[in-house]
Structure formats: structure tokens, C-alpha cells
Amino acid sequence: MTTLGSASADPGEVATGRLEVGETRDGSPVGLPVAVVNGARDGKTLYLQAASDGDELNGVGVVNRVVPRLDPADLAGTVLVVGIVNYHAFQIAEHRNPIDDTKMNRAYPGDENGTSSERIAHATFQAATRADLVLDLHQGSTSRMIDEVRVRCGTRHRLHRDCLELAKTFGCGYVLDQKGPDGQLARAGPDDRERVHTRAVGGALYKGSTSGGVGVFAGDVRSFGVAVGPILGRRSTAGIRRQRSSRRRAERV
């Protein structure tokens, strides 16, 4: 069985749940929406996250289209998903976490006992470090932006060549190969052995960026070795249920 937060799935199952990352001022728990797609066959693990910046919705659109169409019966490996990372900023459509005025993608690897953003970064980083490949979905905030992939570990990093070659498999035509600032998931992740790509899924004014992101996701994970079946066909997205029981579980990039 594979577990992420309150979502647990046996091989051949899908489950959704929440990953607790702190509490509100009145003591109510704050949980990020998560999903586990546990393939029927053994394979590598992919971690996928979106909305690290609260006003970047294209990645959420990709997650909403991809996850319900992933059939664990056709999957070799495991997909771990955090659908909305910057929970507080997402609620008010802001880029930064309003609780501590922090850009989430500058808080990694985080701190379990730190600020709101550091706690969220810590929880999601712990999930990411379980994976062989990490995809961090971004966009050009509320402005226009080309579709691109960013390799942020730096040219001298021991995983640079692997990250760059995998970035090319996206096929979007643009790869930014430049060492990123401290605190980025794409900087912290490779230091912990997994390969991390920041995927900028266009800007806010072009709906084709989300559709393109779905196709690119499929191509990239297949090239990495996470074997998935077709995910672009017609399949209900009404909800994600456990396959056996049909019960619900319940500033810039």
C-alpha cells in the first residue's frame, strides 16, 4: 500500500485525501488535496504538484484532467499528486502566501516547525523525495508566457545532464537551463537525488496551455519509464474513487 497524507491505495487502486500542513488561527487543520495512483505493476515513482504560486491555475487544470484519466490497471509505477500547494494564496488568488508574505517556491526544503510556507514546503518536499522524478507545474502568473521547461540545478550538478535530457522530452521547444535561486524545489530536489523539472504551462490568457500540458505530461512520464496507458481519451472526471470498492477517499517561477 502507498500512502500520501490520508490517501492510501493498494496496487491497482486510486485514492484521494488530504495532506495536513498546519492549522488556521482558530485551530482548524489545513490540508492540501492529494491523490495516489498506485499502478498494478511495479515501476518508478512520479511526484506531481501544482499551484505552488496561488494565482497559477494552469497546473491545476492539468492535474484535474490527468489524474481522473490515469487507470492504475495500465500503470507500471506510482503517481503521487499534490493538486494545490500554496493553499492560503490559492483561496484569494494571490501569488504569495498571505499568512507570512512568502513565495512558496523560495521556501524549500522547508521546516516542519517553521512559518506557514516553510511547513507546507517541508510536507510537500517529503513527498517529493519519495519520487524518482518530480514535475512542478507553474505558469506566467497572470501575464502571457511561452510554454517552457526549466532546469534549475546548475550545469555543474551531478544530475544536470539527466535533468536536461529529460527536459527535452517535453517537446515544447523551449528549455531554460539556468541555476535557480535558493529555495526553489527545482534546486533543492536534485540535491536530494531526485530529478526535478519546473514546467511553465504558458500564461493566463491561453487556454491551449492546459491542453498542451496534459499531452506533454504523458510524453514525459513515458519517456522516463513510468508506463501509463492513454490519458487523452474520453473518460469521466466526475471523481476519483478507489477502484475496488468505488468508495471515495475522501514574483515568478
- Name residue 29's amino acid: P
**b/e code 86-116 from CB counts within 10 Å (16+ = b):** bbbbbeeeebbbebeebbbbbbbbbeeeebb
**What are the tens digits of pLDDT across the range 127-139?**
999 998 888 887 7
Looking at residue 251, its pLDDT comes to: 44
Looking at residue 132, its pLDDT comes to: 87
Whether the per-residue pLDDT at 5 is higher than 90: the answer is yes
Q: Model's pTM, two decimal places?
A: 0.74
For residues 75 and 221, the answer to whether their CB atoms sit within 8 Å is: no
What is the distance in angstroms between the CA of the first residue and the CA of the last residue of the chain? 34
Q: Is the dihedral of CA 112, 116, 118, 119 positive or negative?
A: positive
Greatest Cα pair distance in the chain:
49
Top CATH class, 2-224 = alpha beta
For residues 14 and 34, the answer to whether their CB atoms sit within 8 Å is: no
Higher pLDDT, 194 or 166: 166
Whether the per-residue pLDDT at 100 is higher than 70: the answer is yes
Whether the per-residue pLDDT at 33 is higher than 80: the answer is yes
Task: Determine the Cα–Cα distance for residues 70 and 227; give it in Å rounded to an integer.
Answer: 11
